[in-house]
């Protein structure tokens, strides 16, 4: 009889059963989601809504019985709040317009009424191309991008992975990771965009408007201001932050089609914003369940609490936050006593560059800039992250570390009937941890309706309670098993420095 030389990876079936009961029978996650998405949103960095959400989350974790629930400060920069936006087509007919400010847009100079002007920035090549607009732009609302064709939507916007698709994804061989996408500078051979932007404001323009380039039916995805050279708009001394609105494509196209008939269009716009520069700190929410015999070692799990400000940040990423909070609640409710310390992190400053996570990693594990290892570098077992929307978790990547395959295969056994049964050779790693060679895992989730992401319609109504409950069970099972096994999870990737 063959005898394995390795101890069997233990599965805590009884604990998973209890987690499953609590997660599905006594769930608090949809109520928590309503607080985050309905009451506190928008949760953009350092906004009053974000701070209120962070304080509420810390208080909730405290009430569950977690230790040391705290707001963890780190230096970020200037905060941004959209206080008010109102935009209307006044002539040739009246039409209320759906539009949202690009994040870190400036405001307009009060309520302004002026002409719509189509000025396709892509076709401004030389300074001579600016001349026809000189003297023409006072109070103008500048339409900067061409009309977008909107084809009919024949395919369902929300999909779940089929088993065949997951099997195919699981077989993708490990190869060199694709380089992170470079920011594209499409203006080669043209005068700089900044010069165009400065020209239109010198000429008295009120605001720049564009579409989001991907959505329709009144849905608008809103990212950071596009018409600036400085990508760090939150820096205290950031240069020009143009006033910039992202408009629903159907409304945008209507205005352009009227202009094509040489009929003037008048638009009224009032955009008010504030930049908060009194205190440059932003905050993560962190709390712990202290370990027992291995308390000095740590398992971290988390999700970003900050969200893009146009919508409620429901799928991105209240969905992840409430599942993480549920894991914490359930650990305490069931009286689980993990061997390692379990830490929950709800992170700030995410959409601008993962600042919350990076500060936590730099302060606790290793600083990629100074190349300094911190006390807990060797004590971290793993970081588990939820940030792929509101779909159900279907699998997790092993990041090329075959030793994890045997371990995770065992941990997934109790989760098969809730749809979690795939390991992928590679997948997304969390960049804050990856940058210092620490194991980190993004769970792979069903891709639900992508119109939600970063849009004005990322609302509570899109959350699917049963999926979030299943995600809670899966995350809790992984965190619990990581916290209980004899060894930390094996590391594979050497530190990159
Ligand atoms: Zn996200």
Question: Does 379 lie in the same domain as 254?
Answer: no
Distance from Cα 349 to the centre of ligand 1, integer Å: 11
Question: Does 379 lie in the same domain as 234?
Answer: no
Question: Does 326 lie in the same domain as 237?
Answer: no
Distance from Cα 14 to the centre of ligand 1, integer Å: 33
Question: Does 457 lie in the same domain as 413?
Answer: yes
Q: Above 70 in pLDDT, residue 111?
A: yes
Distance from Cα 444 to the centre of ligand 1, integer Å: 13
Q: Which residues are CB-neighbours of 162 under 8 A, at least 6 positions away?
A: none
Distance from Cα 74 to the centre of ligand 1, integer Å: 20
Q: Does 160 fall in a domain?
A: no
Distance from Cα 288 to the centre of ligand 1, integer Å: 23
Q: Residue 270: which domain range?
A: 84-149+181-276
Looking at residue 229, its pLDDT comes to 63
Looking at residue 7, its pLDDT comes to 64
pLDDT (tens digit per residue) in 465-481: 999 999 999 999 999 99
Q: Above 60 in pLDDT, residue 86?
A: yes
Distance from Cα 249 to the centre of ligand 1, integer Å: 24
Distance from Cα 335 to the centre of ligand 1, integer Å: 31
pLDDT (tens digit per residue) in 265-305: 999 999 999 998 888 999 999 999 999 999 999 999 999 99
For residue 289, what are the β-bridge partners?
342
Distance from Cα 86 to the centre of ligand 1, integer Å: 28
Strands of 305-388, DSSP E: 340-347, 366-367, 372-373, 380-385
The residue-averaged pLDDT of 357-377 equals 94
Question: Does 114 lie in the same domain as 51?
Answer: no
pLDDT (tens digit per residue) in 180-226: 444 445 677 889 888 999 999 999 999 999 999 999 999 999 988 88
Looking at residue 224, its pLDDT comes to 87
Distance from Cα 238 to the centre of ligand 1, integer Å: 25
Distance from Cα 224 to the centre of ligand 1, integer Å: 14
Distance from Cα 304 to the centre of ligand 1, integer Å: 7
Looking at residue 178, its pLDDT comes to 43
Question: Does 408 lie in the same domain as 269?
Answer: no
Distance from Cα 355 to the centre of ligand 1, integer Å: 13
Lowest mean pLDDT among 57-61, 149-153, 237-241, 399-403: 237-241
pLDDT (tens digit per residue) in 250-262: 999 999 999 999 9
Distance from Cα 305 to the centre of ligand 1, integer Å: 9
| End-of-domain residue from the set 254, 276, 298 | 276
Distance from Cα 189 to the centre of ligand 1, integer Å: 35
Q: Does 176 fall in a domain?
A: no
Q: Which CATH number is 244's domain given?
A: 3.50.30.30
| 237, two tokens | 């001394």
Q: Does 369 fall in a domain?
A: yes
For residue 95, what are the β-bridge partners?
89
Phi, psi of 153 (to 5 degrees): -95, 95
Question: Does 270 lie in the same domain as 286?
Answer: no
The string over 439-478, giving b where at least 16 C-beta atoms fall within 10 Å of a residue's C-beta and e elsewhere, is bbbbbbbbebbbbbbbbbbbbbebbbeebbbbbbbbbbbb
Question: Does 63 lie in the same domain as 185?
Answer: no
Question: Does 230 lie in the same domain as 373?
Answer: no
Distance from Cα 307 to the centre of ligand 1, integer Å: 7
Q: Is 156 exposed, middle or buried (0-12, 13-18, 19+ CB in 10 A)?
A: exposed
Q: Does 108 fall in a domain?
A: yes
Q: Does 45 fall in a domain?
A: yes
**Distance between CA atoms of 385 and 393, rounded to whole angstroms?**
11
Looking at residue 180, its pLDDT comes to 45
Lowest mean pLDDT among 41-45, 310-314, 399-403: 399-403
Distance from Cα 208 to the centre of ligand 1, integer Å: 27
**Distance between CA atoms of 26 and 108, rounded to whole angstroms?**
48
Distance from Cα 453 to the centre of ligand 1, integer Å: 8
Looking at residue 186, its pLDDT comes to 62
Distance from Cα 262 to the centre of ligand 1, integer Å: 43
Distance from Cα 210 to the centre of ligand 1, integer Å: 23
Q: pLDDT over 90 for what percent of the chain?
A: 78
Q: Above 60 in pLDDT, residue 97?
A: yes
Distance from Cα 319 to the centre of ligand 1, integer Å: 10
| End-of-domain residue from the set 276, 305, 323 | 276
**For residue 49, what are the CA distances in angstroms to 74, 260, 309, 453?**
18, 42, 10, 19
Looking at residue 494, its pLDDT comes to 57
Q: pLDDT over 70 for what percent of the chain?
A: 94
Q: Which residues are CB-neighbours of 217 under 8 A, at least 6 positions away?
A: 250, 451
Q: Does 2 fall in a domain?
A: no
Distance from Cα 264 to the centre of ligand 1, integer Å: 41
| 7, two tokens | 């101890």
Distance from Cα 58 to the centre of ligand 1, integer Å: 20
Phi, psi of 225 (to 5 degrees): -50, 135
Distance from Cα 308 to the centre of ligand 1, integer Å: 9
Looking at residue 174, its pLDDT comes to 57
Distance from Cα 359 to the centre of ligand 1, integer Å: 17
Instruction: Report angle CA 435, 441, 443 to the nearest 5 degrees.
Output: 140
Tell me the whole-structure pTM to 2 decimals: 0.93
Q: Above 90 in pLDDT, residue 234?
A: no
**Distance between CA atoms of 438 and 24, rounded to whole angstroms?**
32
Distance from Cα 431 to the centre of ligand 1, integer Å: 13
Distance from Cα 314 to the centre of ligand 1, integer Å: 10
| 315, two tokens | 């799928």
Q: Which CATH number is 302's domain given?
A: 3.40.630.10
For residue 112, what are the β-bridge partners?
269
Distance from Cα 386 to the centre of ligand 1, integer Å: 8
Q: Above 60 in pLDDT, residue 401?
A: yes
Distance from Cα 317 to the centre of ligand 1, integer Å: 5
Q: Above 90 in pLDDT, residue 462?
A: yes
Lowest mean pLDDT among 6-20, 126-140, 164-178, 292-306: 164-178
pLDDT-based confidence at 415, cuts 50/70/90? very high
| End-of-domain residue from the set 208, 242, 276 | 276
| 96, two tokens | 């209320």
Question: Does 371 lie in the same domain as 433?
Answer: yes
Q: Does 161 fall in a domain?
A: no
Distance from Cα 389 to the centre of ligand 1, integer Å: 7
| 308, two tokens | 């893009």
Question: Does 260 lie in the same domain as 125?
Answer: yes
CB 41 within 8 A of CB 313: yes
| 279, two tokens | 């205190």
Three-class secondary structure assignment of 204-248: CCCEEEECCCCCCCCCCECCECCCCCCCCCCCCCCCCCCCEEEEC
H/E run at residue 275 = strand 266-276
pLDDT averaged over the chain? 92
Question: Does 341 lie in the same domain as 263?
Answer: no
Number of domains forming the structure of the chain = 2
Distance from Cα 36 to the centre of ligand 1, integer Å: 15
Distance from Cα 294 to the centre of ligand 1, integer Å: 32
Distance from Cα 490 to the centre of ligand 1, integer Å: 27
Q: Does 169 fall in a domain?
A: no
CA-based R_g, the chain, Å: 25
Distance from Cα 148 to the centre of ligand 1, integer Å: 27
Name the more confident of 17 and 177.
Answer: 17
**Distance between CA atoms of 479 and 340, rounded to whole angstroms?**
10
H/E run at residue 267 = strand 266-276
């Amino acid at each position: 009889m063959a005898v394995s030389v390795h101890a069997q990876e233990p599965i805590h079936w009884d604990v998973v059963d209890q987690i499953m009961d609590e997660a599905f029978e006594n769930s608090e996650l949809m109520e928590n989601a309503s607080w985050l998405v309905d009451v506190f949103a928008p949760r953009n960095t350092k906004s009053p809504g974000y701070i209120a959400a962070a304080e509420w989350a810390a208080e909730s974790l405290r009430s569950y019985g977690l230790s040391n629930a705290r707001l963890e400060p780190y230096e970020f920069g200037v905060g941004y709040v959209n206080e008010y936006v109102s935009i209307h087509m006044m002539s040739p007919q009246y039409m209320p317009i759906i539009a949202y400010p690009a994040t870190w847009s400036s405001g307009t100079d009060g309520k302004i009424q002026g002409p719509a002007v189509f000025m396709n920035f892509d076709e401004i090549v030389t300074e001579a191309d600016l001349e026809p607009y000189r003297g023409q732009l006072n109070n103008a609302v500048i339409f900067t991008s061409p009309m977008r064709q909107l084809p009919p939507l024949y395919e369902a916007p929300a999909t779940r992975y089929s088993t065949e698709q997951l099997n195919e994804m699981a077989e993708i061989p490990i190869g060199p990771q694709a380089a992170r996408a470079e920011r594209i500078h499409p203006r080669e051979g043209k005068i700089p965009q900044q010069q165009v932007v400065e020209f239109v404001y010198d000429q008295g323009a009120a605001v720049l408007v564009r579409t989001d380039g991907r959505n329709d039916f009144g849905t608008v995805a809103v990212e950071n201001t596009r018409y600036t050279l400085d990508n760090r708009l939150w820096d205290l001394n950031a240069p020009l932050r143009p006033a910039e609105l992202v408009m629903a494509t159907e409304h945008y196209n209507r205005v352009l089609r009227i202009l094509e008939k040489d009929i003037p269009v008048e638009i009224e716009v009032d955009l008010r914003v504030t930049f908060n520069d009194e205190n440059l700190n932003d905050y993560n929410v962190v709390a712990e369940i202290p370990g027992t015999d291995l308390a000095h070692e740590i398992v971290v799990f988390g999700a970003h609490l900050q969200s893009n400000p146009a919508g409620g940040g429901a799928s991105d990423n209240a969905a992840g936050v409430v599942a993480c909070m549920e894991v914490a609640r359930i650990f305490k409710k069931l009286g689980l006593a993990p061997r390692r310390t379990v830490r929950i992190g709800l992170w700030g400053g995410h959409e601008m560059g993962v600042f919350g996570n990076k500060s936590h990693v730099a302060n606790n594990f290793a600083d990629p800039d100074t190349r300094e290892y911190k006390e807990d570098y060797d004590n971290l077992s793993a970081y588990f992250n939820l940030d792929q929307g509101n779909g159900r978790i279907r699998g997790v990547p092993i990041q090329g570390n075959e030793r994890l395959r045997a371990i995770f295969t065992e941990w997934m056994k109790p989760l098969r009937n809730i749809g979690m049964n795939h390991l992928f050779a590679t997948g997304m790693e969390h960049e804050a941890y990856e940058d210092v060679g620490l194991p980190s895992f993004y769970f792979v989730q069903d891709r639900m309706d992508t119109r939600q992401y970063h849009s004005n319609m990322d609302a509570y109504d899109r959350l699917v309670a049963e999926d979030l409950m299943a995600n809670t069970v899966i995350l809790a099972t992984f965190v619990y098993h990581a916290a209980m096994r004899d060894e930390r999870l094996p590391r594979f990737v050497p530190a990159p420095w």
